[in-house]
Structure 1
Amino acid sequence: MTLNGHTDAVLYVAISSDSKVLASGSADKTIRIWDCTTWKQLDIFTEHSAAVNTLLITPDGYSLISGSTDTTIKLWNLHTRKLVQTLTGHSEAVLSLAMSADGQILASSTRKTVKLWHIPTGNLLQTLPGFSPVAFTPDSQMLVSGGNGGTIKIWSLQGLNELTGNSLLSQEWWEVLGVDVDAQPQDVKFAYLQLARQYHPDVNNSANAQASMQVINQAYQKFQVQRKLR
C-alpha cells in the first residue's frame, strides 16, 4: 500500500495506540490524517507555516501534537479535527517531541534547547540546555536528550519546576545557556535574558532558583570573557 497526497517529503509519521489513525507530517507544511482501515485521507491540517518535523499522538488517541520549523507546537483534537492550542517559546525549528506516561508533561526540543510544558494548562515549566531528540523513560522519572559535543543528557524530573545549581555546575557556559558554542552574541544574550526572566529572584525566590541564577550569570560572564579574548 502506498498513500499519496503530500506534495513534498514526508518527515514524520505517528499511529494511534488503537492502530486506527495514521498522521503524517511533511515538508509541504501540512499534516494529513489517514484512516488505517480504509487508508483514505480523513483530513488535512494546514495551520503550520513551515515544515512539520515531528508528531505525537497521545496514548488515549484524543490529541495530536505537532512540531514545526515555524518554531511552534500545535495541539489538535483528533475527534473534532480542530486546532486546540499553539505553544510558542522556541526560537528554532522544533525537531522532537515526547510525552510523559501520565500525559501531563510534554518535552519539545530544537538544536539548542529542550522545553517542558504542562499540557493541561499549556504553561512552560522548564527550559533545559539539551538537544534534539528527547525521550521519557517508561516511568517518566527521567528525560533523555541529546547534547552538544557528542553527549547524551539524562535529566531527573524530580523537582521539575526548578533546575538545581549542582546540575548546572557541570555544564559548559553554552550548555547552561542552551546555545551552540559558536552562537552569535545576540543569540547568546537572548538566551541569557530568557533564563534570567525565569529564575530572577523577583519571579522565583526559592534557594534553588537563586543558585541557578548565579550559575546562569557566571555562564554569561564566561561567554563575555571568551568573546573579549577572541
Structure 2
Amino acid sequence: MMRKYFAIDMPAVRFTWNTLVFSVLSLIPAVMIYVAMTPGFGGMLIGGGLPLSRFSRQVVTNGLPVVFVVNYVSFFLFASVVAKPSQTYGIRLVLLVDLPVRIVGFIALHAVIYVLSADLFGSFGGSRATALRVVAPTLVRSVFFENISGAYLYATLASALPLYVMAIETSRTLGGLAHRLPGRAGPVLFAVVLFGFSVLALTAFAALLIWWQTS
C-alpha cells in the first residue's frame, strides 16, 4: 500500500499531497483524543470565540507542520529505499533511519516553531531562550497527553505504523514470529510494540535534554 502512495518517481505535487492527507488523517484523531481527555476543554472549544481561534491556530501552525515535515522526510527515505530492486524496507532501516528521523525531527521542529512563535506571536514572553528551554519538558509531558504536543507526538509516530508493518513482514526473524498469528494480526501487533518503543525513545531523549539543560 505504501509503495502505491509514496514512490520516488511520482510527481512531487502528488507525493506532497499524499503526505499532507496522511498527516491530517493521523492528526485529527490524536487531537480529538487530547480534547476528550482534557476536562472542560471540549466545552470551551464548542463555545467558539478566542479559545477555539487560538487552539486552531496552534494546531495549524505548530502541529500540522511538525507532523507533515517529519512524515515527508520519512516517506521520501522510504520511497528512495524501495525504489532499488535489491533493497527491502526492513527492521534495520526502521531502527537506523525512520526512528531517528522521527525523534530528532520532532524535537528539532518543535524548537524551531517555538522560536518562531516567540518572534511572531509573542509566545513565551517573546523570549527565544524561554521557548527553547520549554521544548524538552513539554515533550516529556506529552507522552501522557498532558499538553497538545502529545497529540502531535502520537500523530507523528502513528504515521509510521504502516511502514513498521511492512518492515516486520519482510523480516526473517520477526516476520516468522508475527505470521504465527492469524492474518495480519502478528505484524500489526509487533508494529504497535515498535510504536511503543518509539514513544519511550523520544521521551528518554527529551529527558536527556532536560538533564543537559540543568546540569
Normalized against structure 1, the TM-score is what?
Answer: 0.24
Q: Which has the higher helix share?
A: 2
Higher RCO (C-alpha under 8 Å, 6+ residues apart): 2
Normalized against structure 2, the TM-score is what?
Answer: 0.25
